[in-house]
Chain A
Amino acid sequence: MGLLAQYEAHQVRAAEYNNLPRARIRAHQHLSGPDRSLTSYHRIALTPDLDGLRLITLLTTACPRTNCAHRPRPDPAAGLPLRGVMANRSPIAHADLLQQYKRRYVARMHTQTSSVLAGFSRMHTRRRPLRQALTSLRIATLFINRLFINRLFDHLFDRLRDRRNTRLTGMGHPTESAAQPGPRTLLASALLFAFVVVGPGTAFAAGHLAGEHYTPPRAPGTTHPDFNGVWQAMNEANYDLEAHVGRPAMSLREGPHGPLPSAAVIALGAVGAVPPSLGVVKGDGTIPYKPQALAKRDANHADWLNRDPEVKCYLPGIPRANYIDHPFQILQGERSLFFAYQYAGAVRDVYLKDPGLAPVDSWMGQSVATWDGDTLVIDVTAQNGETWFDRAGNHHSGQLHVRERYTLTGPDHIRYQVTITDPETFTRPWDIEMILYRRVEANAQIMQFKCVEYVEELLYGKWRRHPLED
């Protein structure tokens, strides 16, 4: 937004600002902190908290002064909630906003009730006593909550009024009054606890408190978010998980003035170079190898061409399969979850029930899914220790335990977090994090990539009756 446009926007905002109710203005001042010039405008929303009300800035816009340009602000066009940046616990609020929040909450409950009822009637045609019982329980909870919701909000209104009066007459400090919960606060807390813990709004309330703002659509016929689609990482993780500058090639040798491509890959030129990356390893960005394992990594790197399983088109293992430079497809049915990878036609059936210890180790391991709210958690065990993490020689042993977390942060993005545990190779568990992007093309699909036949010359060429000439 240009300066002029910003200024005009400010005029509009300023006009609005003057009309704001008093308590809301104070909220502005409070949120603006030491900068009393009020260079930014915040739309705020309220959510109930165990301690009363939580103020959340939804949008910060119109900044006429250049000196506020450095402030963290969300993109107003995206309208994304700015949680965490400006979230602030404060007793200051306004009844209008609470009223608004109440309306939204009730509307949300209505939607949930009808969707649960619809699910129940559909389920009635099947024989699933356990699910039916659970749904019945959920419906009962919904109705009980609906009985209580008016009482809860009335109570919150009372508390608001009390606190606002206190503040407007200059009696006491807001944080002090918040720190001394009266009996009514306790009642409200108890009611809210009931809401948050057992209520139908669990996902909603918990989502707000834990900081998630995107509520993904459900996979048809399930209560879980819909991960169906073709996905692909868009980063350099498969070259090297750790931060690195560009390199002339994946396979290097010492030259007179620094590393050069090894003889086997010279002909690839720039195509064979390693693109730079800030890395995907969390924390200090390095993998916490034990000394011997680090030596092995370096040896792997030096002998990459002979050692990387990807060169021979071997199955990639987890997590490498997810960020190798090919798309993969998640197939999420009502009773099954399956990953089909384009690279090497690798597959993984993700068990929804834990079958216990895998009967045998394998290249792709055994995957077992659980749900942490809307986050899909997959525990991968029983990988055979032959796979690598990347083309830089990063490796693991057969003791590897991979815990993956998949969270939809928007319709086309998955936040992919992985915790790697392997006491034989690493001094402690470590994490990687990246975004998986939906392939949004209308014809997005995985295609045949049987690289097995592409490596036959590499593996068996020398045993042809008439070997090809160099």
Chain B
Amino acid sequence: MKCIKTSVTLLLSAGAMCALWAQAAEFPRTADGKPDFSGFYDIATITPLQRPEFLGDRKFISAEEAEEARSRVAARKSEGDKTSDPERDAPPDGGDGSPGAAGNVGGYNSFWIDNGDDTNQVNGEFRTSIIVEPANGRRPKFTKATQAKRTKRRSNYRKNSGTAWWLERDEAGPYDNPEQRPLAERCLLGFGSTSGPPMLPVLYNNVKQIVQTPKHVMILNEMVHDARVIRMDDKHLPDTIRSYMGDSIGHWEGDTLVVDTSNFNDRPGLSGASSSLHVVERFQAATDGTLLYSFTVNDDTIWEGAWSGEYSWPKTDSVVFEYACHEGNYALGNIMRGARILEQDVLTGKGGDE
């Protein structure tokens, strides 16, 4: 019995040492003694930003539930991977009504989608949402002014009826000018706050690269090749210098890299936020060898309170390939030309079949 006890203790301590060793090996230290986060991370996960409401305050699920979710997603993807029928008809006018990023006129199948297979695991917990604060895992309510703006903006999103419906009203239409289109359509930023900050997982192109030097940390966002160059131990730029991804400065708190970002323009990478946005991000080595990314968002002109999230960034052997968006952006021009053609149809009394 005693022998078994000793063996167990030995095994356990060996295991603990291995764990520590592994962690040290995962993140070597730089010459100045900081953990070196340089490398590539694939941040794709099926854990959503906001927790589904029916889960309430339930922060994580069991390993069995996570496995179930994994196989559900895998089944859906393999269904989507099926070869398209070459004899199929064109989609019906205005699309087939199915939802998704592809729109409803047929688009991406699973081949193009790379949004993760697994529930994100933080400290061994299978998380139900990236947001951890407030406790319900959902963003706080929008302020009243924001709510009103959003309702108005939503009136510009309609199912494609194949007609220039915006001519029926006196206001500007959603396709009048390129500046009205979303930043991602214009190749100015990736969608869904993939560039951030905060940097969130999206439908595809979820690989991040970190390059760490004594005076800077650079985080490359795959979509639209946006490099965030974070200046260490510096002051923020003057208030008048504003940009889509804001001005990021960093410092170390022990082994944690803390990045503070402000000076956003009026359309930050975080969808819905304003130029008042302030984001604090924290990067630290997790015990399982991943990089734990956590953030706090503050924009009191948009949300009634601050909100925070965290999720782990697993390392990957993949690299970041070029995402030359603008160079091949036929979409934006065609969206606008399409709108002009629909308008002509209305004005000349022609149908939408032209």
Contact = CB atoms under 8 A, between A and B. Distances in A.
Decide if A and B are genuine partners.
Answer: yes
Interface of A: 122, 125-127, 219-221, 228, 313-315, 329, 331-338, 340, 345-347, 349, 351, 355, 359-360, 362-364, 386, 445-448, 450, 452-453, 456, 459-460, 463-466
Contacts of B245: 448
26 contacts: A127-B21, A127-B24, A220-B31, A221-B31, A315-B322, A315-B324, A329-B229, A331-B211, A331-B213, A333-B36, A333-B38, A336-B38, A337-B211, A345-B224, A345-B225, A347-B220, A360-B321, A386-B327, A445-B231, A448-B245, A452-B188, A459-B333, A460-B332, A464-B336, A465-B177, A466-B176
B214 interface: yes
Contacts of A465: 172-173, 175-177, 339-340, 343
B36 A334 contact: yes
B30 A221 contact: yes
Which 10 A/B pairs are nearest by Cβ-Cβ distance?
A221-B31, A463-B336, A362-B322, A448-B243, A465-B176, A220-B31, A340-B227, A338-B211, A456-B178, A452-B326
B216 A331 contact: yes
Q: Which of B36, B176, B177, B215 has the most CB of A within 10 A?
A: B177
Nearest to A361: B322
Q: Which of B38, B216, B343 has the most CB of A within 10 A?
A: B216
B333 A333 contact: no
Interface in B180-216: 186-188, 209, 211-216
Contact of A349 (B187, B209, B215, B324): B209
A349 B220 contact: yes
B144 interface: no
Contacts of B332: 456, 460
Given A333-B212, A447-B243, 17 more contacts: A127-B25, A221-B30, A331-B229, A333-B36, A334-B28, A338-B211, A340-B229, A346-B225, A349-B220, A349-B320, A351-B319, A363-B327, A448-B243, A448-B245, A465-B175, A465-B177, A465-B343
A318 B90 CA distance: 43
A315 B225 CA distance: 11
B32 A220 contact: yes
B32 to A, nearest CB: 6
Contacts of A360: 321
Indicate the size class of the contact surface on chain B.
35 or more
A463 to B, nearest CB: 4
B321 A362 contact: yes
A377 B30 CA distance: 24
B218 interface: yes
B244 A450 contact: yes
Contacts of A448: 243-245
B324 A463 contact: no
Contacts, number: 135
Contacts of A460: 178, 332-333, 336
Contacts of B339: 465
B226 interface: yes
A450 B326 CA distance: 11
B248 to A, nearest CB: 11
B350 interface: no
A463 B337 contact: yes
Contact of B28 (A126, A228, A336, A464): A126
A452 to B, nearest CB: 5
B241 interface: yes
B179 interface: yes
B218 A340 contact: yes
A260 to B, nearest CB: 32
Given A465-B175, A466-B176, A364 B30 contact: no
A315 B229 contact: no
Interface in B144-185: 172-173, 175-179
Contact of A347 (B25, B176, B227, B337): B227
B176 A363 contact: no
B30 A334 contact: yes
Interface string B298-342: 000000000000000000000111101011000011001101100
A355 B318 CA distance: 11
Given A340-B227, A453-B188, A349 B327 contact: no
A463 B211 contact: no
A314 B321 contact: no
Q: Which of B31, B38, B172, B243 has the most CB of A within 10 A?
A: B31
Contacts of B177: 464-465
B95 to A, nearest CB: 23
